[in-house]
Amino acid sequence: MSLKNVLAVALGILSAIGGFVDIGDLVFNTQAGATFGYQLLWVVVVGVIGIIVYSEMCGRVAAVAKRPVFDLVRERAGFGAGLGTLIASQVVNLMTCAAEVGGVAICLQLLSGLPYRLLIPLAVAALALACWVLPFEWIERVFGYLGLGLLVFAVAAIKLHPDWGRVAHGFVPGHHVGGSLMVYLYFVVGLLGAAMTPYEVYFYSSGAVEDGWGLEELGLNKVTSMIGYGLGGFLSFALMIVAGTLFLPQNIDPQFLGTPPLASADALGQVGLLLALVGILFAVGGAAIETCFSGAYNTAQFFGWRWGKREGHAAASRFTLAWVVIFALAFLVVMTGYDPVKLTEYSVIFSVVALPLTYLPILLIANDRTYMGSNVNGKLANVLGVVYFVVIIAIALAAIPLMLLTNGGQG
Amino acid sequence: MSKPVEVDIALGILDHQLVDSEGVNCGKVDDLELTGLDGGSPEVAEIIVGGNAWRSRGLLGRLAAHLSGDAVHVPWSEVESVSSVVKLKRPAAELRLNRGDPRWARLVERVPGS
């Protein structure tokens, strides 16, 4: 591998790490840590392996057959079920996008002190402008790299001197202490949902097609999905460890997005606070763009339109209007004043319900030789793919009952 | 003539991406019209794209068809090849496909930097 290639791979990994955490991970990891300490760390491992398995699969399909996820959904589910999946995924994407936009506005508020309502239109305008003027790879990189500010949570986790024995214990599933079983299970579902949100595979596979991936990118696909998402998972560990060390003993319930950065401030002072806020701002802002684009990608792919930033705004005008409209709708949702953290919880739980219909077509096509030739799933990918599909079905069935039974994790 | 390849119409053609001679996406194979089903040799006559082609595609399809216009019929003789996409022999505009993008482009072009 040449130096240039190594650099490209490293840059891709860095943006994958920065792009891994979104508002769903922030909310669920810190709330899980504040409620159950380190006991749910194992769930993050399960979730991260799940997203690696399926993003590697859909990246491979994109590189070999040049087909993004919603083409596969349409081809395998047909028009009716495909349209049902499209509508469900659009509702979830819109909720997620709105939650992320709200998160951006909260970060801007904490950084500037200006009123939240004033900052919502500013946040949407800035994000839409970035989408309009920046080329695709720049969007990925700018938000991915600046999102690396979140690494400050890893430093904070170490500086807070957690009981590492108990942290290690959290990686082993078992009996939980404190809180009810239902709430524990609710967090299991929420953490898995936050790690495996469907928009990540929509965006990852469409991005791979946008970047013109071919057979020579199969290695890049493996490395980016495994190392990028794997290291991204470390940020989730860090968030949970920080919350478990600082918030649980003091009975702090992180109901505000501004709470996690305070943990970083506690460990690292003002610089820590600033880095955490900038990290969250760009991680959540990048996720807002990803969810919004996912919505436009899915619609265009379902109906067979031209799509992608490379096509040019006017040439792919329906695709362009689709993402503009999604931003506009997200703006209206956030302007209602509904709490972005609550919105995040709903969006993650509902996204779990939409997971099976997204992941099944990927699994089927990744095994189809007419698409994949010799690059069909190997044994490992299939065993993991099937095991995770069973897990996904189980959490999809449990998600909404658990949310209702626990009143959204409140017990 | 090239070697015959077995293609499953339902899995390998229906709902697949249409791509024109210039490599541009131009809709999906929303429905197919078959002829010769009454004893003759069955043949795919036309690809039906968009609008009321969705009528036959379940409850949501009927609803979607109500909300949109007429379908475009593309004779099978316009098909160049079938792989994971259905590739056509001519540019989309000549087959009356992909008319939505030029229509909306007028609106998008008003924004600076487009």
Residue B41: band (very low, low, confident or very high) from pLDDT cuts 50, 70, 90: confident
Res. B1: pLDDT tops 50: no
User: What per-residue confidence (pLDDT) applies to B36?
Assistant: 87
Domain-embedded: residue A20 = no
Residue with the two structure tokens 């080329």: A135
Give me A292's structure tokens: 């919004």
In our burial notation (b when 16+ CB lie closer than 10 A, e otherwise), range B99-114 reads: ebbeebbeebeeeeee
User: Would residue A199 count as lying in a domain?
Assistant: yes
Question: Where is A32: in which H helix or E strand?
Answer: helix A23-36
Q: Do A314 and B109 touch (CB under 8 A)?
A: yes
Closest CA to A16 of A354, A349, A392, A287: A287
Q: What's chain A's average pLDDT?
A: 92
Interface test with B, best of A307, A370, A376 (most B CBs within 10 A): A370
DSSP-assigned letter for residue A377: -
Number of domains in chain A: 1
Q: Does the CA dihedral A249-A250-A254-A260 come out positive or negative? A: negative
The CATH fold assigned to B9-108 is SH3 type barrels. (2.30.30)
Residue A71 lies in a domain: yes
* Gap between the Cα atoms of A233 and A46, Å rounded: 10
Interface of A to B at Cβ within 8 Å reads 65-67, 71, 74-76, 78-84, 87, 132-133, 300, 302-307, 312-318, 320-321, 370-371
pLDDT at A386: 97
Q: How many beta carbons lie within 10 A of that of residue A6, not counting itself?
A: 10
CATH number, domain of A219, equals 1.20.1740.10
Q: Which residue of A has its CA nearest to B7?
A: A370
Q: Which residue has the higher pLDDT, B77 or A252?
A: B77
* HEC per residue, A154-208: HHHHHHCCCCHHHHHHCCCCCCCCCCCHHHHHHHHHHHHHHHCCHHHHHHHHHHH
Average pLDDT value for chain B: 89
State the Cα angle at A26 between A181 and A36, rounded to 5°: 25
The answer to whether position A5 is within a domain reads no
Contact assessment for residue A243 and residue A254, using Cβ atoms and an 8 Å cutoff: yes
ipTM over the 0.90 cut-off: yes
Domain boundaries defined on chain B: 9-108
Establish if A31 belongs to a structural domain.
no
pLDDT recorded at residue A263 = 86
> Among A13-27, A113-127, A170-184, A185-199, where is mean pLDDT lowest?
A13-27
- Write the residue in A74, A87, A370 that is nearest to B15 by C-beta: A74
B31: β partners: B48
How far does the CA of residue A331 sit from the closest CA of chain B (Å)?
20
- Check if the beta carbon of residue B4 is closer than 8 Å to that of residue B12: no
Q: What is the pLDDT of residue A23?
A: 92
Express each pLDDT in A345-385 by its tens digit: 999 999 998 899 889 999 999 999 988 999 999 999 999 99
What average pLDDT does range A28-41 have in this prediction?
A: 95
For residue B108, which residues of chain A lie inside 8 Å, CB to CB? 313-314, 317, 320-321
